Amino acid sequence: MSIYSFSKVIALMGLILGTASGCTTAATLDTVTPAVVAPVSEKSASIVVDGSTGAVLYQANADLPRVPASLTKMMTLYMTFEAMQAGRISKATTMPVSAHAASQAPSKLGIKPGQTIDVDTAIKAIVVKSANDVAAALAEYLGGTEEQFAAQMTAKARQLGMRGTNFHNASGLPDPQQITTARDMALLGLALRRHFPQQYYYFGTQDFVYNGKLIRGHNRVLAQLNGADGIKTGYVRASGFNIVTSISDHGRQLVAVVMGGETAKKRDAQVVSLVNAYLPQVASR
């Protein structure tokens, strides 16, 4: 990355982090009524960020601790893409599957101890299936152990300016010490697009074939919004229904985060409302 690009990323992060928390809108957005996208439960948090300028267009509870669930896998993939970019692994690299990885709770691909899986398939399994067993296999291959990899994830989060996030596993399975914020997830969404343009297309994958079986995803927002190209959904009981959505539409870029939805349908409706309300305000390149 050039010094100019790196400086631009840091500037964008500063803009996001410098915006006060609470339920506010940017000064130029007074005509938009935030009530249409208000929080719906005590687990709720949301934020909308202009992907071009880093300006926060809307936020509610954006800095309060939240459970990431499978949004955790965004950082698992960030670390994977970083390893690919550095030449440490490639799409064709095969990774062994340990008993620990295979034993992870669903959602999972069903890989068995002693099997191998290539990086390309692993990425698709995480994006589409949100496979916890595959996330653990990647973590062990890249970090030695999942615990060591999680520590690396947290260190990377700090480098990206994610001040309210701690990772303790690679999948997002329940762990009381694993927390994040909506603001941090927006930062991570921005970083994924900016740092890995050659790998970012994976987040738009809606299905893939594994062992002759078609595996379909469950990110319904990809089909509901023009320009939606990712990124990740997540759910555990403690988190409610989470989503980070990225939009690239006619030069306009936007990242919207909704956490703590009561149902997947309500979460999807909320993020669609956020995008429709604030995309017209996004600066065009």
Q: Residues forming the annotated binding site?
A: 232
The pair of structure tokens assigned to 151 is 């520590």
Q: Output DSSP code: residue 283.
A: P
Dihedral over alpha carbons 195, 123, 105, 67 (to 10 degrees): 20
Contact by Cβ (8 Å): 128, 135 = no
Residues annotated within the binding site for substrate are 232
Residue listed under structure tokens 């990323």: 9
Distance of alpha carbon 257 from alpha carbon 151, whole angstroms: 24
Q: What residues does 244 pair with on adjacent strands?
A: 232, 257
Query: Which residues have a catalytic role annotated?
Result: 70, 73, 130
Contact by Cβ (8 Å): 59, 182 = yes
Question: How many Cβ atoms are within 10 Å of 8's Cβ, its own excluded?
Answer: 14
